[in-house]
């Protein structure tokens, strides 16, 4: 690699390549820790609680769910800059202002139409990839390398592609620059270096692979990602040949757990971002085989969670499944879940209030109808900001007990920290919103909680306080006074109108 690639020649800004080299030196080939995705050109983030969508997420969502109009104007502009051999710094700065996703394919076609030499395109691409300090410019650099390079570009593409922001472009470039079989292996290697949208983009390019190592990895690990396993579960089930793998007389534990993850992701995927279990032709025999395998294996929380998800789905299975098959599956899964060891696994999971799997264990225990009120209370005394535990407590405890515990554990004075326009609060704010929402059907309870919620910085928290007060047949005068004071300083127009209507009805 060019030793000058660490700095853009016109300044001292950190290049993406230097950042990737640093992460590789510290953490190996990948996956890298989350802070590695704080890229050199990352803008400062405002801690205002408003939804934040990184550009890598925007690219992923747009490629999977939305179309977009190509930017043909910049195609011509960039092609002109390349054709006239403009300084690379000028090209870089122009590309930094663009959106690579909107014109990269059209740019490649335009360069081919103009018959620019591969060497000229490759030199520009390598320079942008090695010297770029802005993500969109680096993306186009990778695109140009993909359009003009060869197997010698493999390591550069793998290194930059380990940054999730760049994986999509690196994957396409690897498939274009590497010999056929080596291209699949390079994409496979990159897929194992990333975990979120990068994993999705890479694994999708492995569809139809007949490589036994790739197929085995897809079934055990490759479908998992930090976005939604539903995106990759259909591909893993088909390309990985899930049912055939489960017919192994002694499948390994990772395969059994991977099968459970794939089958439940297919179930959750019904009507979601990809095809669900109704489109998987071998779903019925695969489910039956999974039940047989789990029945004879160790009872773990993960497997219990999978079994319960499947049981729920069997209540309303796909219409084209044969009634006899559905009835047999229902009986089989009911028999497996009747084993006492599953309830024991759920209770063991809620025994430690600080356990990392407490929420999953709570969910499983609740679905099994197990009495876990003391364990949930213990969890909340350990972590009062656990909104899921508050939701569970509302199903287990009397409303009076719910309100009393929340008033005891939540820092109400600290939560009266607004008003503001924050949408997403911290754990305690989310817990307050959850509890006040749960108390809405029980007017007369939780007045201190409602007061804190009315004065919270979160718009949603204040809205739930108003809904709760509207449920009271006769709100106390002190609560009306709180609303009047809140109305005077409320920054959200819609909520201010709601408060005004409440006071008018007063």
Q: Angle, nearest 10°, between helix axes 459-470 and 493-505?
A: 20
The answer to whether 274 and 234 have CB atoms below 8 angstroms apart is yes
Q: What is the pLDDT of residues 27-57, one digit of tens each?
A: 999 999 999 999 999 887 666 565 555 677 6
Average pLDDT over residues 297-308: 98
Average pLDDT over residues 4-13: 50
The answer to whether 165 and 55 have CB atoms below 8 angstroms apart is yes
- For residue 46, with 0-12 CB atoms within 10 Å meaning exposed, 13-18 middle and 19 or more buried, which class applies? exposed
Which residue did the predictor score with more confidence, 429 or 72? 429
**What's the pLDDT score for residue 388?**
95
Joined together, the tokens standing for residue 98 give: 């663009």
Integer-rounded Cα Rg, in Å, for the chain is 28
| % of the chain with per-residue pLDDT over 70 | 94
Q: What is the pLDDT of residues 361-381, one digit of tens each?
A: 999 999 999 999 999 999 999
The answer to whether 203 and 238 have CB atoms below 8 angstroms apart is no
Average pLDDT over residues 230-244: 98
pLDDT confidence bin for 271, thresholds 50/70/90: confident
Average pLDDT over residues 304-329: 97
**What's the pLDDT score for residue 274?**
87
Average pLDDT over residues 1-21: 66
CA dist 191 and 26 (Å) reads 20
pTM above 0.95, yes or no: no
Joined together, the tokens standing for residue 365 give: 């225990």
**What's the pLDDT score for residue 34?**
93
Please name which of 162, 174, 107, 187 lies closest in space to residue 140, comparing C-alpha atoms.
107
pLDDT confidence bin for 71, thresholds 50/70/90: confident
Can you count the helices (H) and strands (E) in the chain?
29, 0
What is the pLDDT of the chain when averaged over all its residues? Answer: 93
Average pLDDT over residues 408-415: 97
CA dist 165 and 196 (Å) reads 10
């Amino acid at each position: 690699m060019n030793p000058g690639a660490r700095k853009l020649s016109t300044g001292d800004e950190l290049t993406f390549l230097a950042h990737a080299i640093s992460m590789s030196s510290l953490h190996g080939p990948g996956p890298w820790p989350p802070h590695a995705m704080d890229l050199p050109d990352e803008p400062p983030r405002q801690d205002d609680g408003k939804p934040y969508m990184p550009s890598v997420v925007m690219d992923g969502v747009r490629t999977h769910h939305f179309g977009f109009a190509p930017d043909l104007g910049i195609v011509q502009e960039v092609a002109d800059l390349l054709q006239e051999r403009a300084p690379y710094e000028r090209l870089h700065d122009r590309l930094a202002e663009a959106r690579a996703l909107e014109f990269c394919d059209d740019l490649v076609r335009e360069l081919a139409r103009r018959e620019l030499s591969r060497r000229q395109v490759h030199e520009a691409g390598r320079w942008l990839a090695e010297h770029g300090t802005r993500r969109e410019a680096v993306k186009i650099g990778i695109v140009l390398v993909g359009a003009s390079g060869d197997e010698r570009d493999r390591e550069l593409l793998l290194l930059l592609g380990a940054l999730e922001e760049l994986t999509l472009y690196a994957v396409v470039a690897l498939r274009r620059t590497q010999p056929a079989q080596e291209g699949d292996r390079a994409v496979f290697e990159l897929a194992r270096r990333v975990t979120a949208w990068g994993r999705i983009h890479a694994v999708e390019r492995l569809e139809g692979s007949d490589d036994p190592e790739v197929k085995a990895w897809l079934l055990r690990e490759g479908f998992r990602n930090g976005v939604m396993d539903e995106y990759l579960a259909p591909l893993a089930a088909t390309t990985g040949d899930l049912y055939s793998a489960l017919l192994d007389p002694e499948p390994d534990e990772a395969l059994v757990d991977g099968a459970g993850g794939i089958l439940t992701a297919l179930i959750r995927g019904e009507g979601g971002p990809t095809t669900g279990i109704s489109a998987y032709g071998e779903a019925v025999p695969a489910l039956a085989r999974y039940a047989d395998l789990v029945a004879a294996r160790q009872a773990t929380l993960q497997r219990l969670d999978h079994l319960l998800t499947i049981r729920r789905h069997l209540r309303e299975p796909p219409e084209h499944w044969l009634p006899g098959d559905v009835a047999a599956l229902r009986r089989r899964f009911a028999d497996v879940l009747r084993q006492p060891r599953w309830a024991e696994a759920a209770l063991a999971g809620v025994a430690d209030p600080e356990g990392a799997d407490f929420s999953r264990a709570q969910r499983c225990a609740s679905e099994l109808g197990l009495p876990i009120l003391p364990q949930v209370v213990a969890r909340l005394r350990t972590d009062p900001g656990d909104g899921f535990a508050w939701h569970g407590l509302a199903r287990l405890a009397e409303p009076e007990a719910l309100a009393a515990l929340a008033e005891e554990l939540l820092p109400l004075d600290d939560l009266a920290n607004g008003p503001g326009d924050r949408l997403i609060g911290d754990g305690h704010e989310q817990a307050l919103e959850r509890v006040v929402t749960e108390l809405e059907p029980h007017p007369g309870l939780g007045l201190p909680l409602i007061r804190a919620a009315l004065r919270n910085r979160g718009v949603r928290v204040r809205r739930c306080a108003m809904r709760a007060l509207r449920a009271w047949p006769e709100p106390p005068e002190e609560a009306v006074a709180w609303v009047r004071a809140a109305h005077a300083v409320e920054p959200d127009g819609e909520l201010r109108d709601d408060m005004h209507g409440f006071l008018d009805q007063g």
